[in-house]
Chains A and B, each alone.
Chain A
């Protein structure tokens, strides 16, 4: 493949020494690099040693004639792009047609005007350059697509993505090595992947790069820009042993940036002094961008997994899952649904927290939260918030539960029992704390509530307000439920009416029931997310 600016090499095939000498002379005078063959067989041998940009062939030759030579060139994948110009004295139409059909670029009849032959040579070389560029472009396109495909298929398999990036860079840039250095918290850049030998890679891992002029990676870190050193052996400042001892000469380095911040460096190098051209530099920069995407993805996954782990400790697993699910965004955006809301808190907590030592308060809360937390999870409740002793839980969202009212009541009863156990211990320490619950079934709007940087998945609506009021009305050990909840759980619970409660903000009194006992229920496992 001839590169722009390089002298094109033309193969002249003719058994006639006079004609061949004249054509060779013409092309040489024009500045072309010319090689000669006296028949087709020798021409094919010369062609196999790469670097022929065009072939000029006679037709009538011993051993392998022009037609056979042409056919052989055009049927070989490696040489198909090489233009073949037939130069002949055969002026019959059949020969010309046959040559064009076999893939000849042009058919020049002898005697020819020198300017005409040269024009046709120039044209076919130009066409070949375009085809080469096109092929090169397609190759590069295919390689970058391949990297993108791997990024999307194994999004978080960083090593295999980096490996693909580096091998593609070596292949497409005619380089002998490529390496990737990942920025470390201490400001050094350590070899995270490379096509170097195991020994070289080992050395690099033990000797991370830092900003400086002693290596190409160091210079990229220093300047933040893509650059190349045309010959590291001739560069006074270059001192990195792997480059020097590995016999590398030209090395190109490109920054890998994430949101304008340098997170890594890619280098590619050759063992010959052959600077990378602009298109190769662009290609390496493209690979650098892809590496950046892959690294960002991998870090994102790490963050999500970590946050999910942390979230699960503080909020319900349902919401932790929801946040990372595909339906999540839609649910978070807000929706209306019938839910059962449970509010509970500790009677006497306010005065307790005012008089007790902070350590004691935290100790009580820790035991209380631990007891409630496991029961919330067990019953499939969605914890909306913990606020000191106040806890709000709702059911039937985001996970749909046909028996949400019953789950709420069963959970509250289990909580009452658990807190009663704790309360007897607290009493021995002198703290008088009772547990009160309010439960209301009704419609609420659910979704993301809050402001930038601090969002909660929450519920808003009358049912929520009413549950909160019922909880504050409840005496120690009471679980107050509203009419709707009672209607739904009637068969499974034993209640006593507490009459109609007058609730601040509501004009009409609200009938409420205290749950005395709950028959053991089988809590169905969490079903589908709706």
Chain B
């Protein structure tokens, strides 16, 4: 399976919700909607040169990605969050696109994990 989801991290999330896979399905749906919105926020903030908004959007996606075991995506988000915080907005466009690509990969991998596969 994909490396998008870290086994140990996902297991912890599963434990956190008491093994309730129905709840996890709903949670993934929330993640899909919110994550897409955050990536949209990142693009808008970067275009406007608004480091604070960019930092917050990256922070939020980092956090929820980590919660669902998407460790690699969380790392990508952290990189953007810290650079935005430090005002280094240059070259972040490609980083955001990398986040968008990884986000799709995570969304592709999650349903299988939620069903208990792999």
Contact = CB atoms under 8 A, between A and B. Distances in A.
Interface of A: 15-19, 21-22, 25-26, 29, 60, 62, 89, 110-111, 113-114
A113 B11 CA distance: 11
A60 B64 CA distance: 13
A114 B15 contact: yes
Given A60-B59, A89-B59, A89-B62, A19 B16 contact: no
B9 interface: yes
A113 B12 contact: yes
B112 to A, nearest CB: 18
Contacts of B15: 114
Contact of A25 (B20, B62, B64, B66): B20
Interface stretch (B26-34, B87-95, B97-105): B26-34
B69 to A, nearest CB: 9
B104 to A, nearest CB: 17
Contacts of A110: 63, 66-67
Interface of B is mostly: helix
B34 A17 contact: yes
Contacts of A16: 34, 60, 63-64
Contacts of B17: 22, 25-26, 29
B56 interface: yes
5 contacts: A19-B67, A25-B20, A60-B55, A60-B60, A114-B15
A60 B56 contact: yes
A388 B47 CA distance: 120
A59 to B, nearest CB: 9
A344 B18 CA distance: 105
Nearest to A29: B18
A114 B67 CA distance: 12
A25 B15 CA distance: 11
Given A21-B27, A22-B67, A110-B66, A15 B60 contact: yes
A113 B9 CA distance: 10
B31 A111 contact: no
Given A17-B30, A17-B34, A62-B56, A22 B16 contact: yes
Contacts of A25: 16-18, 20, 23
B46 interface: no
Given A19-B63, A29-B18, 4 more contacts: A18-B34, A22-B67, A89-B59, A110-B67
Contacts of A26: 16-18
Q: For A15, A18, A89, A110, which residue has the most chain B Cβ atoms within 10 angstroms? A: A18
B74 to A, nearest CB: 9
A18 B68 contact: yes
Interface in B59-79: 59-60, 62-64, 66-68
A89 B75 CA distance: 12
Contacts of B64: 16-19
Contacts of A111: 9, 12, 66-67
A141 B27 CA distance: 50
A25 B56 CA distance: 24
Contact of A18 (B9, B31, B56, B59): B31
A89 B15 CA distance: 19
A18 B12 contact: no
Contact of A21 (B9, B12, B30): B30
A14 B18 CA distance: 21
Contacts of A19: 63-64, 67
A95 to B, nearest CB: 12
A200 B16 CA distance: 57
Given A17-B30, A21-B30, A25-B23, A89 B66 contact: yes
Interface string B1-25: 0000000010011011110100100
Contacts of A89: 59, 62-63, 66
Nearest to B62: A89
A62 B57 CA distance: 10
